Amino acid sequence: MKYISLLGATGSIGTQTLDIIRSNPEQFKLAAMSAGRNLDLTRKIIEEFKPELVSVQGREHCAALRQEYSHLNIQFTYSEEGLVETACYPKADIVVNAVIGSVGLDPTLQAIEAKKDIAIANKETLVTAGHLVMKAAEENKVRLLPVDSEHSAIFQALQGENEKNIDNLIITASGGSFRDRTREELKNVSVEDALNHPNWSMGAKITIDSATMMNKGLEVIEAHWLYQIPYDRIKVLLHRESIIHSMVEFHDSSIMAQLGTPDMRVPIQYALTYPDRIPFPSAKRLKLAEIGKLHFEEMDFKRFPCLQYAYDAGRAGGTMPTVLNAANEAAVAGFLERKIGFLEIETMIEKALNRHTPISNPSLDIIREADAETRQFIRSIS
Ligand code: NDP
Ligand code: MG
């Protein structure tokens, strides 16, 4: 039996993780969970899974739940400290980090200190402080198991391989909701249009990130840290069907790829069962003869400037990726709140990057400062 601590249980990745736990009750048990503000769903999860520890964002919500479930033996906690407590829950064998944004950084670092393996969906944590997370993981000998489908594909392609033989990582991109629109056509797109992703059903922030292509940019930085590959050897390829989830090209010219129908539960489950695989009866099998053809195109960096910003920030290093991530989180929040237009997400990120002088090898405090200062700047121009 594997005991799981799930951060972000009420989100898109969180609920799909619960699906896997539900389908495999003899293998997995939800020991601890965190939610944000979705109390209705939190109640449902508590009643179904009866975790031992529950953390929510707000203090009042925590007090209400504690009273409501006083008949059950559950410990309730809240706020960012609650997230850390959930991440470090002693009984948990593995932490699934599926919160959104750099709020996931502290719980990740603390869980690593507590020697927990981490199934990491929360890519913002690796973007904002990849060097600290990787160093801590190495020092504490814990595994970071990728959940992001591209990074899981690379991880799977690397099994039994020597990482020294890698030439290139090839990350595939579906293109997001607006892949066939020109930049001119993007001026007045609505929040609803942007939330309508052709291949994947995901949380709001990552769906917008897919439309701006920032998601792919964040994934390039995520791959750089997870696999320690320089940016020049991380490529992005447009692949509309989202069937090949990513590839690894080796020195001898062989390319290993991982394929499947788009379903995040597959990489989530692999992170939980690694190095084993268990059946996944409800997964839709890939019927390649029916699909017939797969398509690939070069990425257009002019059409998707956020991807260029991410490569530039990654190469600049230091606090630059922190600024990229914080500016993006704040700008996407502004777009979702209808304060700024879609294309302003890009221009605001560019402004934040241009005004920042990177500090190399930043400490956690410097990262927190750069993150807070950048969010403040974006809010001031929104
Ligand atoms: P969602 O927005 O669907 O879920 C986010 C979760 O985090 C919710 O449980 C939410 O709680 C919680 N949360 C948000 N803010 C806070 C906070 N300040 N404190 C505590 N909890 C908080 O996101 P996704 O599931 O889409 O994404 C999660 C992560 O996984 C992201 O980093 C994303 O990039 C990555 N990812 C997602 C994929 C997908 O298919 N969705 C694919 C690959 C990667 P509540 O809702 O209760 O407020
Ligand atoms: Mg992805």
Q: Report cis status (omega within 30 of 0) of the bond before 275.
A: yes
Q: What local confidence, expressed as pLDDT, does residue 321 receive?
A: 98
- Which whole number is the average pLDDT over 35-60? 98
Higher model confidence: residue 176 or residue 310? 310
| Burial tier of 66 (Cβ tally within 10 Å: 0-12, 13-18, 19+) | middle
ipTM exceeds 0.95, yes or no:
yes
Which residue of 55, 202, 261 sits with most ligand 1 atoms within 8 Å of its CB, as the best mutation to test the pocket? 202
What single-letter DSSP state applies at residue 318? T
Please tell me the distance from the alpha carbon of residue 164 to that of residue 250, in angstroms, as a whole number: 9
User: Is residue 200 pLDDT above 90, yes or no?
Assistant: no
Which residue of 61, 206, 328 sits with most ligand 1 atoms within 8 Å of its CB, as the best mutation to test the pocket? 206
Nearest ligand to the CA of 55 is: 1
Q: What local confidence, expressed as pLDDT, does residue 197 receive?
A: 82
CB 62 within 8 A of CB 78: yes
Nearest ligand to the CA of 151 is: 2
Using the Cα atoms of residue 288, residue 292, residue 298 and residue 302 in order, give the sign of their dihedral.
Answer: negative
CB 199 within 8 A of CB 178: no
Q: Which residues surround ligand 2, an ion (CB under 5 A)?
A: 148-150
Q: Please tell me the residue having the least CA distance from ligand 1 atom 2.
A: 203
Tell me what the pLDDT averaged over the chain comes to: 97
User: Is residue 128 pLDDT above 90, yes or no?
Assistant: yes
Q: Which of 50-59, 188-197, 279-288 has the highest mean pLDDT?
A: 50-59
Q: Is 141 annotated as a binding residue?
A: no
Q: What is the pLDDT of residues 187-198, one digit of tens each?
A: 889 999 999 888
Distances (CA, A) of 32 to 89, 149, 323: 7, 24, 32
Distances (CA, A) of 93 to 1, 104, 274: 9, 18, 13
Nearest ligand to the CA of 153 is: 2
CB 44 within 8 A of CB 22: no
Q: Please tell me the residue having the least CA distance from ligand 1 atom 22.
A: 36
| Burial tier of 265 (Cβ tally within 10 Å: 0-12, 13-18, 19+) | middle
Least confident of 191-205, 287-301, 340-354: 191-205
pTM of the entire predicted model: 0.98
Q: What local confidence, expressed as pLDDT, does residue 325 receive?
A: 98
Give the pLDDT band (50/70/90) at residue 201. Answer: confident
